[in-house]
Structure 1
């Protein structure tokens, strides 16, 4: 792959979410990413797996809303 090319990948199969509706997988990956960063720190590379997962599964509007809620302290999930 040359510099400037974008490699598109999908999230691998996760047996916790066997159905075609990936809403729960999206939300859980978002939670897992932020939990991982809270526990391990922002520089811990394996956390990026979860970021890649939620970035490809979740609509951008949901992620923006959740980020706004986290910043405001009103996010309903446990991170």
Structure 2
């Protein structure tokens, strides 16, 4: 995603089959942690708009955990999207 915006530290949770997608998107400069049978947490530094688009594209398989401001923006955008299709 070729967007211009602020670089942010972000933490998000993904389903494990998405690990290769995360590496393709963010490169090898990611930290994986808190792995369980189905999910893993990812921490990285990335372009804010790119992360927002990535999270929207892969809902519900991606959940942004931090920063809280990004969670709130996603919550509002997804709420508006649902309203359009109701």
Q: If each structure's helix is expressed as a fraction of its own residues, which one has the higher value?
A: 1
Question: Shared fold (TM-score greater than 0.5)?
Answer: no
Q: If each structure's strand is expressed as a fraction of its own residues, which one has the higher value?
A: 2
TM-score for the superposition, normalised by structure 2: 0.30
TM-score for the superposition, normalised by structure 1: 0.31
